[in-house]
Amino acid sequence: MTLLEVRGLGVSYRSGGREVPAVRGVDLTLDRGETLGLAGESGSGKSTLALSLLRLLPAGTRVEGQVRWEGEDLLTAKWSRVRAVRWAGASVVFQGALSALNPVRTVGDQICEPIVLHEGATRREARRRAGELLESVGVPVRRLDGYPHEFSGGQRQRIMIAMALACRPDLIIADEPTTALDVMVQAQILQLLADLVKEERIAVLMISHDLSVLAQMCDRLAVMYAGQLVETGPSAQLLTDPRHPYTRALAGAFPVIGDPASRRAPSGLPGDPPNQAQLGAGCAFAPRCPEADADCRTGAVQLWPAGPGRDAACLRVLPDGVLPDGALRDGAAERPADGADAVPAEPGGADATGERAGEQAEEQAAPQPAAGTSAGGQS
Amino acid sequence: MSASAPASAAGPTASAGPAEAAPAALEVRGLTVVHPPRGGRGPARAVDGVDLRLEQGEILALIGESGCGKSTLARALVGLTRPTSGEVLYRGTPLRYTGSALKAYRRHTQLVLQDPGGALNPRQTVFDAVAEGPRLHGLKEGLEERVRSALSRAGLRPPEDFLARYPHQLSGGQQQRVVIAGALALDPAVVVADEPVASLDASVRGEILQLVLRLRDELGLSALVVSHDLGLAWNIADRVAVMYLGRIVEVGTVEDVLLRPVHPYTRALLSVLPGPDRGRRPTVLTGEAPDPTAVPAGCRFHPRCPAWAALDGPGREAAGCTVRELPVLTADPGAGRQAACHLVDAAADTPAGGAGTAGAPGGAAQAPGAEDGRG
């Protein structure tokens, strides 16, 4: 059974008396041992998406659609069930490990806590396992009784990963895990995550604005713009041959050293992301898109097949699109029929939101997302 | 240090000889910054003997990990940190550390910091933020025009739309442009930028880098850009200097250093750049950024050096990386690419144990670290 299957996920916040959509109609699947990178700029909804999977969003947030964890919809599941999936099923590594770790408790204590709470282990067993976990992420066991401020940034991020691994999860959601780190430390963390995927068959959902980091780590990428997925497909292809103009802009932002095209020619994307409270008809990216024409400003876009295993939400990838050469059309035709991600789910999920509203209110009594990884928050 | 720039050392103005090179926009000679002991640790040699020149109209990227001393060097360059020894020269004239001399100096040399959100006062309008420098320097006449022009040059157009805004009403990219406008308002000749794009989104990054390039092309600005991002150097810099534990370990043109790196540290940095090529084997250095309170003897990189680790006993003995001090690289750009490495010196610019040689054609350009045969 598929580990994680997201269908028609929509998230909206209430702001100034109105609903502001942050995530719209997102479909994703992720299985054990798979790695998926979620890319986008600040405000694109990528972190909101990640937090909504484990119902870690704050009060007043409306979530619709389905988040199936091994077939079971977490959005409608009992609260106790969701708590069981957190840590033991899926755990989150946040960016900024200094603020996510509790400064007045030793790292050993913080790693032990979920083990004691979720696995019913004794303190002694938990401590032994915490030691093993520290070793496995390359921090010496003798540092178990150290406090967060005694560690470097890279070590703290390793400790966060050790903590995320405490209950042997099947999935790690890593939100910008290397953003504040140096290149060499970043490489160490990426290698650590890659080893975990290979050896433990853990699934990783990694979130970043840096397409090159995601491409290094993940098999597949999903690019998000204004709350929607605008392109999905195998990482290397997305990076080297993007179909969506926004993906192209992101891919161009981090140059390949040695590529004459980017020498003394940094590429940027003019303009700002749209205000999602005021999205009009047509493609949300059209106002910034260098290739947009009149059709783009009026026609609705959704993910369409854009080659084997690939989808893009751009009018230009349509078989009867405006691209002069037939290359894309052929690719689309060859695409295997299984394409689960090809068509966004019916917005039927919206029906269920009414029922869910009550449950959403209940869960507000539960820990807030900021406390998500500090072990205390989960108790 | 005196040998590095014989011509300009004699006459600071250097206007005599027609063929004479202009003095460097900025130069440091034997620069050392030692922070006093703290928390039971010894003194920290943050910058430990650096010679470096920034030519007029040049963009030089200073690359290194956190803790390598690059930010301290940047602060020393703009006169915010007084060097323990060595000197900073602006157009051939040594910087004096008196209040008035520093004030005059800072009109010409501006610092742009990372994290524009933190650099801007949340209660100051854009106008006041940009006008702060000119006001400090008593440039009251035409102040508004000066601010408008700076905003416009920084890409905030039309400037009228931004004058009355507060930082929270701006995007991250716009905030960084305001910080840059604040620097430009004094018409500086040199800008020292410390991680100018590290806190910005990928889409904004290119925009700001384009701005730096344009300022150089249109205003003849010289810029020293401090970063840990090698891609930034490829995007905008003319030359690159790689810093490790207080010293420059490799310096040269961007093409030489990034496409044909010879220092094992530069090679390792390049090999770990993330990218879609997942088959390659990066040289991931173990351990954390090095400690300036405990600088290793000999080559300061040897405890983490993969080339040194690959040597056998007799090879190590002969190389002497643990005992022989390395010379400070000269600041003279005419010296071409230089690397401070015993193993490179021994084999005449051939990286130790490496497959790619210094003279390799550009064909190996795609992923310079990829063919790294060591390890």
Distance of residue B125 Cα from the nearest chain A Cα, in angstroms = 21
Domain boundary among A166, A188, A218: A166
Q: Is A188 on the interface with B (CB under 8 A)?
A: yes
Q: What is A285-325 written as a DSSP string? A: TGGG-TT--HHHHHS----EE-STT-EE--GGGSTTSS-SS
**Cβ contacts of B209 on chain A, cutoff 8 Å:** 266, 268
Per the prediction, chain B carries an average pLDDT of 84
Q: Are residues A286 and A230 in the same domain?
A: no
Q: Are residues A69 and A183 in the same domain?
A: yes
Which residues are CB-contacts of B76 (< 8 A; sequence separation ≥ 6)?
B28, B31, B33, B47, B82, B83, B88
**How many CA atoms does the CB half-sphere of B309 hold within 13 Å?**
12
Asked whether the beta carbons of B122 and B168 are under 8 A apart, the reply is yes
What gap in Å lies between CA A303 and CA A283, rounded to an integer? 11
Per-residue model confidence (pLDDT) at position A96 = 67
Nearest to B65 by CA among B283, B225, B205, B245: B245
Residue A318 is assigned to a structural domain of this protein: yes
Per-residue model confidence (pLDDT) at position A184 = 86
* Residue type (1 letter), B307: A
Structure tokens at B375: 């390890």
pLDDT above 90 covers a percentage of chain B that reads: 64
- Highest averaged pLDDT of the listed ranges A267-276, B116-125, B139-148, B280-289: B139-148
Domain boundary among A107, A141, A166: A166
Q: Band of the pLDDT at B368, cuts 50, 70, 90?
A: very low
Structure tokens at A5: 């299957």
Distance of residue A101 Cα from the nearest chain B Cα, in angstroms = 20
Stretch B328-342: mean pLDDT, rounded?
Answer: 89
Total of domains in chain A: 3
Distance of residue A250 Cα from the nearest chain B Cα, in angstroms = 6
Interface test with B, best of A192, A254, A263 (most B CBs within 10 A): A254
With CA atoms as reference, the chain B residue closest to A274 would be B171
Contact criterion met (CB < 8 Å) for A257 and B205 = no
What gap in Å lies between CA A277 and CA A12, rounded to an integer? 10
Stretch B9-21: mean pLDDT, rounded?
Answer: 43
Q: Which of residues 7-26 of A touch B (CB under 8 A)?
A: none
What gap in Å lies between CA A274 and CA A43, rounded to an integer? 9
Nearest CB neighbour to B276, from listed A210, A239, A267: A239
Contact criterion met (CB < 8 Å) for B277 and A235 = no
Structure tokens at B305: 């050096």
What gap in Å lies between CA B357 and CA B262, rounded to an integer? 8
Per-residue model confidence (pLDDT) at position A182 = 82
Distance of residue A152 Cα from the nearest chain B Cα, in angstroms = 8
How far out from the chain centre does Cα B229 lie? 11
What gap in Å lies between CA B193 and CA B174, rounded to an integer? 16
Contact criterion met (CB < 8 Å) for A186 and B272 = yes
Nearest to A50 by CA among A79, A13, A87, A9: A9
Q: Indicate if the pLDDT at residue B333 is higher than 50.
A: yes
Query: How wide is the angle at C-alpha A173 spanned by C-alphas A167 and A174, nearest 5°?
Result: 110
3-state secondary structure (DSSP) of residue A42: coil
Distance of residue B50 Cα from the nearest chain A Cα, in angstroms = 22
Nearest to A96 by CA among A158, A205, A177: A177
* Residue type (1 letter), A379: S
Per-residue model confidence (pLDDT) at position A119 = 84
Domains of chain B: 6-237 (3.40.50.300), 258-365 (no CATH)
Residue A371 is assigned to a structural domain of this protein: no
Contact criterion met (CB < 8 Å) for B276 and A213 = no
Burial of residue A365 (CB within 10 Å: 0-12, 13-18, 19+) is exposed
**Cβ contacts of A261 on chain B, cutoff 8 Å:** none
Contact criterion met (CB < 8 Å) for A265 and B235 = yes
Nearest CB neighbour to B272, from listed A187, A257, A259: A187
Distance of residue A262 Cα from the nearest chain B Cα, in angstroms = 6
With CA atoms as reference, the chain B residue closest to A43 would be B201
**Cβ contacts of B173 on chain A, cutoff 8 Å:** 272
Contact criterion met (CB < 8 Å) for A235 and B276 = yes
Q: Could you tell me the CATH number of the domain that includes residue A216?
A: 3.40.50.300
Q: Are residues A61 and A20 in the same domain?
A: yes
What gap in Å lies between CA A89 and CA A98, rounded to an integer? 24
Interface test with A, best of B199, B201, B228, B269 (most A CBs within 10 A): B201
Q: The domain containing residue A287 runs over which residues? A: 280-336
Residues of chain A with pLDDT under 70: 96-98, 319-379
Distance of residue A363 Cα from the nearest chain B Cα, in angstroms = 32
**Cβ contacts of B210 on chain A, cutoff 8 Å:** 266, 268
Q: Indicate if the pLDDT at residue B104 is higher than 80.
A: yes
What gap in Å lies between CA A339 and CA A12, rounded to an integer? 27
ipTM over 0.90: no
Distance of residue B187 Cα from the nearest chain A Cα, in angstroms = 24
Stretch B200-215: mean pLDDT, rounded?
Answer: 88
A192-251 pLDDT tens trace: 889 889 988 999 999 998 998 999 999 999 999 999 999 999 999 999 899 999 999 998
Nearest CB neighbour to B278, from listed A216, A265, A270: A216
Nearest CB neighbour to B201, from listed A42, A184, A270: A42
Contact criterion met (CB < 8 Å) for B203 and A258 = no
Contact criterion met (CB < 8 Å) for A215 and B65 = no
With CA atoms as reference, the chain A residue closest to B291 would be A152
Nearest to A227 by CA among A16, A52, A371: A52
Stretch B65-84: mean pLDDT, rounded?
Answer: 92
Q: Are residues A182 and A301 in the same domain?
A: no
Q: Band of the pLDDT at B288, cuts 50, 70, 90?
A: low
Per-residue model confidence (pLDDT) at position B375 = 30
Residue A369 is assigned to a structural domain of this protein: no
**Cβ contacts of A254 on chain B, cutoff 8 Å:** 202, 205, 231
B234-246 pLDDT tens trace: 999 999 999 999 9
Q: Are residues A29 and A84 in the same domain?
A: yes
Domain boundary among A131, A166, A201: A166
B339 phi, psi to nearest 5 deg: -140, 140
Q: Indicate if the pLDDT at residue B7 is higher than 80.
A: no
List the beta bridge partners of residue A37.
Answer: A206, A221
With CA atoms as reference, the chain A residue closest to B280 would be A216
Per-residue model confidence (pLDDT) at position A158 = 87
Q: Are residues A180 and A213 in the same domain?
A: yes
Q: Is A186 on the interface with B (CB under 8 A)?
A: yes
Q: Are residues A196 and A234 in the same domain?
A: yes
What gap in Å lies between CA B74 and CA B59, rounded to an integer? 14
Residue A198 is assigned to a structural domain of this protein: yes
What gap in Å lies between CA A31 and CA A40, rounded to an integer? 22
Distance of residue A270 Cα from the nearest chain B Cα, in angstroms = 7
Interface test with A, best of B41, B234, B281 (most A CBs within 10 A): B234
Per-residue model confidence (pLDDT) at position B40 = 78
Q: Band of the pLDDT at B113, cuts 50, 70, 90?
A: confident
Q: Indicate if the pLDDT at residue B341 is higher than 90.
A: yes
Per-residue model confidence (pLDDT) at position B21 = 65
Residue A379 is assigned to a structural domain of this protein: no
Q: Are residues A2 and A59 in the same domain?
A: yes
Q: Is A247 on the interface with B (CB under 8 A)?
A: no
List the beta bridge partners of residue A220.
Answer: A36, A234
B28-41 pLDDT tens trace: 999 999 999 887 78
With CA atoms as reference, the chain A residue closest to B209 would be A266
3-state secondary structure (DSSP) of residue A332: helix
Q: Three-state secondary structure along chain B?
A: CCCCCHHHHHCCCCCCCCCCCCCCCEEEEEEEEEECCCCCCCCEEEEEEEEEEECCCCEEEEECCCCCCHHHHHHHHCCCCCCCEEEEEECCEECCCCHHHHHHHHHHEEEECCCHHHHCCCCCCHHHHHHHHHHHCCCCCCHHHHHHHHHHHCCCCCCHHHHCCCHHHCCHHHHHHHHHHHHHCCCCCEEEEECCCCCCCHHHHHHHHHHHHHHHHHHCCEEEEEECCHHHHHHHCCEEEEEECCEEEEEEEHHHHHHCCCCHHHHHHHHCCCCCCCCCCCCCCCCCCCCCCCCCCCCCCHHHCHHHHCCCHHHHHHHCCCCCCCCCCCCCHHHCCEECCHHHHHCCCCCCCCCCCCCCCHHHHCCCCCCCCCC
Asked whether the beta carbons of B247 and B70 are under 8 A apart, the reply is no
Q: Band of the pLDDT at B20, cuts 50, 70, 90?
A: low
Q: How many CB pairs under 8 A join A and B?
A: 139
Q: Which of residues 54-113 of A touch B (CB under 8 A)?
A: none
Interface test with B, best of A184, A216, A269 (most B CBs within 10 A): A184
With CA atoms as reference, the chain B residue closest to A261 would be B235
Strands B190-194 and A203-208: unpaired
Q: Are residues A80 and A4 in the same domain?
A: yes
Per-residue model confidence (pLDDT) at position A188 = 86
Q: Are residues A12 and A51 in the same domain?
A: yes
Residues A185/A93/A149/B197 CA torsion (nearest 10 deg) = 50
Q: Are residues A104 and A186 in the same domain?
A: no
Map tokens 């696995």 to a residue: A119
Structure tokens at A257: 């050293």
Q: Are residues A157 and A212 in the same domain?
A: no
